[in-house]
Structure 1
């Protein structure tokens, strides 16, 4: 009887392709699996991760999470800033985040700026986006100390999302390199799988991160 590839081989193929961005035909010599088998292993792996862990690790933030993130934004000079940022004009056309804003499902927050009352959070953007009330743009040519301080803080906070995706790309070379003829559906599953695994890593290691704040500290205040 001829034995097939072991589960450890198949699992290693998928992780290796995600981590190193190697093509399916590059794992043959190391793991003794053909190109078609390697592709199949990757497809089944990402489907399994999404089916098993997406509910927990891709869930929308709870009210408690939102309040904690809003407080962190306030500490950085942006009270009631909606967690996240919009750093790609293409996101504006397809992100479900903005569907929530349009359909009035976005988290409700209350704050006052210059005597005006607002009940929705806002996103930090650069100058290529439309002038929506929920977008806060940087000052293009700041001259006063006040404008310069605002622009510095705005750009610093906005870059956090880009840095987060930079960490994701550093950990999973597959999403950093050009797509190797994957279907759009499989590319989406690969991206979701990388985010899920990254969230798992953060959950496991965050207590050793520099400047880590235990969420329970906010509940005690």
Structure 2
């Protein structure tokens, strides 16, 4: 009896050991197949019924209806442009960009309208506000508002970039030179300068490259603006540690001229003929034939008058930067976006919208009357011919020769002296 009980006890221990071994083996196999420990179940996303249809109806009744609640001046103030221009943008985007076309969901409900999406994007660009700031009025959530802004920026560049971010054509250049001659600077094509946009969410590894001194990381915009605040050239992206000269070395502003794709220009200053236009700059730019700076310490009446006129006309680009930042506060406040490419798209889209507004409202604030412009056009010495210039470079040697003409310091001094005499003669004749 004792031996049989010992056998039963041993058999029970063997069975228990087998069970423990199998359990440990199963756990080992499970951990090998799925090394990640089981995670807690995610919380279910809270659905918010925003009643987007009511948001569209409210927007329509406030601004776009026949008896709109808010008059045109308030529309211009809040949308930064006149109503017909905004409707033109909405129609173009809804016809060419699938994102702005209104669709129905699986329940048959209509999605956000093109007016809601474009208004959300304009409000973010114009006020520089957070994406969820438009939720209460337009009934658009934060993530959808960010998508509206990104697609709106891409759509503006796709639909209007070729027309409103172009380089001056022969007709544009002729108009710029006539205006420059009226202001006392024959051959002037505008003024050039740089603007910094702070990048708050700059990656830590890049901060040393984009930060100058003990300041904040910034991205630089180089621009050329005319008297009517149209921005003809925009080069955005260099890091903020670069100054205007370093950025000029990277800029494509003279590429068309070097490659012979620029229209021919001819004008006369103080009896001397010139065949290359120039830009007004501040003192940091080099003394090239394509740049005219002021005189830092003018001695005498003629240099003082020239310095006064040059500094007054050079403020065109400063005014353009100020108006651009006033219209679109997003480029004035620190950029909160991480992606540099998206920041560049926002800057270019704001410049395109700025030029569209300038074209739409140019006649309301121009300094020059039509008769004055026609008289200067008929009696002036400026001549612009479209097409390629006669000295189109056929080799790298010709391109280097054109580059040397652009940087000619002797021509710079001669042109500057002729402009001093021309402005003195012009103002003395007007006073007589």
Pairwise TM-score range, normalised by the shorter structure:
0.7 to 0.9
Say yes or no: does 1:171 pair with 2:330.
no
Contact 1:124–1:158 at 8 Å: present in 2 too?
yes
Distance 1:32 1:16 in 2: 13
In the other structure, the counterpart of 2:192 is 86
In the other structure, the counterpart of 2:157 is 50
Contact 1:17–1:24 at 8 Å: present in 2 too?
yes
Contact 1:107–1:121 at 8 Å: present in 2 too?
no
Distance 1:49 1:34 in 2: 22
Say yes or no: does 1:59 pair with 2:215.
no
Contact 1:127–1:137 at 8 Å: present in 2 too?
yes
Distance 1:11 1:121 in 2: 40
Contact 2:187–2:267 at 8 Å: present in 1 too?
yes
SS at match of 2:166: coil
In the other structure, the counterpart of 1:149 is 305
SS at match of 1:155: helix
Contact 1:21–1:173 at 8 Å: present in 2 too?
yes
Q: How many residues align?
A: 219
Contact 1:71–1:79 at 8 Å: present in 2 too?
yes
Q: Label 1:37 to 1:177 Cα distance change in 2 as closer, same or farther (>3 A).
A: same
Say yes or no: does 1:119 pair with 2:250.
no
Contact 1:108–1:121 at 8 Å: present in 2 too?
no
SS at match of 2:193: coil
Say yes or no: does 1:8 pair with 2:8.
no
The one of 140, 147, 151 aligned to 2:296: 140
Contact 1:92–1:98 at 8 Å: present in 2 too?
no
User: Which of the two has higher C-alpha Rg?
Assistant: 2
CA-to-partner distance for each residue in 1:41-82, whole Å, 9 max, x for gaps? 11101111111112222222221221111011011111111x
In the other structure, the counterpart of 1:20 is 127
Gap regions ≥5 residues in structure 1: none
Once the 2 structures are TM-superposed, how far is the Cα of residue 148 of structure 1 from its aligned partner?
0.5
Distance 1:40 1:32 in 2: 14
Root-mean-square deviation over aligned CA pairs: 2.6
The one of 32, 36, 46 aligned to 2:143: 36
In the other structure, the counterpart of 1:206 is 362
Q: Label 1:55 to 1:121 Cα distance change in 2 as closer, same or farther (>3 A).
A: same
TM-score by length of 2: 0.46
Distance 1:114 1:69 in 2: 20
Say yes or no: does 1:181 pair with 2:287.
no
Once the 2 structures are TM-superposed, how far is the Cα of residue 119 of structure 1 from its aligned partner?
1.6
Once the 2 structures are TM-superposed, how far is the Cα of residue 113 of structure 1 from its aligned partner?
4.9
Q: Label 1:172 to 1:214 Cα distance change in 2 as closer, same or farther (>3 A).
A: farther
The one of 258, 263, 266 aligned to 1:110: 266
Q: Label 1:7 to 1:65 Cα distance change in 2 as closer, same or farther (>3 A).
A: closer
Once the 2 structures are TM-superposed, how far is the Cα of residue 107 of structure 1 from its aligned partner?
3.7
CA-to-partner distance for each residue in 1:111-134, whole Å, 9 max, x for gaps? 455776532111111111222221
Distance 1:207 1:108 in 2: 28
SS at match of 2:148: helix
